[in-house]
Structure 1
Amino acid sequence: MLETERLILRPPGMQDLDAFCAFASDAATMTHLGGVQARSQVWRALTSMAGAWHLEGFAMFSVIEKASGRWIGRLGPWMPADWPGTEVGWGLLREFEGKGYAAEGATAAMDWAFDTLGWTEIIHTIAPTNHASIRLAERLGARHRGPGRLPAPYGDLPVDIWGQTREEWRARRR
């Protein structure tokens, strides 16, 4: 579990299912994340993340807003089989966008991935039309590295790879 000024980042649990379903059923939110998902798909995604925590020792965190105790999204380290690199990704409920929560949580997750997981590089796979995530990646210090390709079943989704090394991240954080 990680804690920031306004957030608690913790491994996902079944108590997050309904909020995760609300997130995944919002068409605007899911535009760049593979589209709206049915409850059965969200259950598989949630249990996949929980399983990754168990098997690999990391996965995306559930993001909890301290002030309300609400689940507001998921973010953090993510590297499924055949992924194009060691990623820190993010996605928040639409009503919590624009408040700096994604930057706050991603910063804590990136520090943790570099310091605890020993990652030497972090990427962000971002749809070329996802301007908000591109701005966040830039704000985090990532550079555009060009087009990328995700594994099935997402291989047809256009993505660009943004990223930076641990040394670049640490130099910015000083």
Structure 2
Amino acid sequence: MRVSGPILFTERLILRRPVGEDFEAWAAFSADPETMEHLGGAVERSVAWRQMCTTAGAWDVKGFSMFSVIERASGRWVGRLGPWQPEGWPGTEIGWGVAHGFAGKGYAYEGAVAAMDYAVDVLGWDRVIHTIAPGNVRSRRLAQRLGSTNGGPTQLPAPLGAMQVDAWGQSATEWRENRARR
């Protein structure tokens, strides 16, 4: 497997660009109704393929996109998270999604911290948001743990325009202060 672009390492994770070998795990993640409840809903393989290719292609078009998250100890695909700003998005987002079998292990937090650092320190973002459905308690708690606050309702572009989401977020300065307290 050849991976181009940035590779981030945390204590337990590798964050890298998505590659073809990720597809089976990506498709299973995308088909799981519980995992996808707040991520636009479960989708079939053909849609998951297009979503993965969109995520991978955004690296070339925008210079950043979500990373595939790999568990260092096992090499298994954990989920996808990181910088995200497709056309019409309400801001520069660090988003996350972890496969059901990896939920509750702190991987989303660990990866989000690395992605926040990357967005602020490498991409030079002045502000980071997280679009979170009001009922997504786990993501709200994660955003709070990162130091983000709820900025209120925001609008996603089609085809996600009907989803109710709030824009949690913080400035780069706030992130640096929050990071220093860790």
TM-score range with shorter-chain normalisation? over 0.9
Tell me which residue corresponds to 2:131.
125
Q: Kindly report which structure 2 residues correspond to 1:1-174, keeping only aligned pairs within 5 A, or say none.
A: 1-174=7-180
SS of aligned partner of 2:15: strand
Deviation at 1:54, TM superposition (A): 1.3
SS of aligned partner of 1:34: coil
SS of aligned partner of 1:28: coil
Aligned counterparts of 2:179 and 2:30: Cα–Cα separation in 1 = 33
Amino acid at match of 1:124: H
Aligned counterparts of 1:85 and 1:57: Cα–Cα separation in 2 = 16
Aligned counterparts of 1:14 and 1:159: Cα–Cα separation in 2 = 31
Runs of 4+ in 1 over 3 A off after TM superposition: none
CA RMSD of aligned residues (A): 0.5
With structure 2 as the length reference, what TM-score do the two structures score? 0.95
Deviation at 1:14, TM superposition (A): 1.0
Amino acid at match of 1:150: L
Aligned counterparts of 2:75 and 2:178: Cα–Cα separation in 1 = 31
Deviates more, 1:50-59 or 1:72-81: 50-59
Deviation at 1:172, TM superposition (A): 1.2
Aligned counterparts of 1:72 and 1:47: Cα–Cα separation in 2 = 18
Aligned counterparts of 2:146 and 2:79: Cα–Cα separation in 1 = 19
Aligned counterparts of 1:44 and 1:151: Cα–Cα separation in 2 = 17
Aligned counterparts of 1:173 and 1:44: Cα–Cα separation in 2 = 35
With structure 1 as the length reference, what TM-score do the two structures score? 0.99
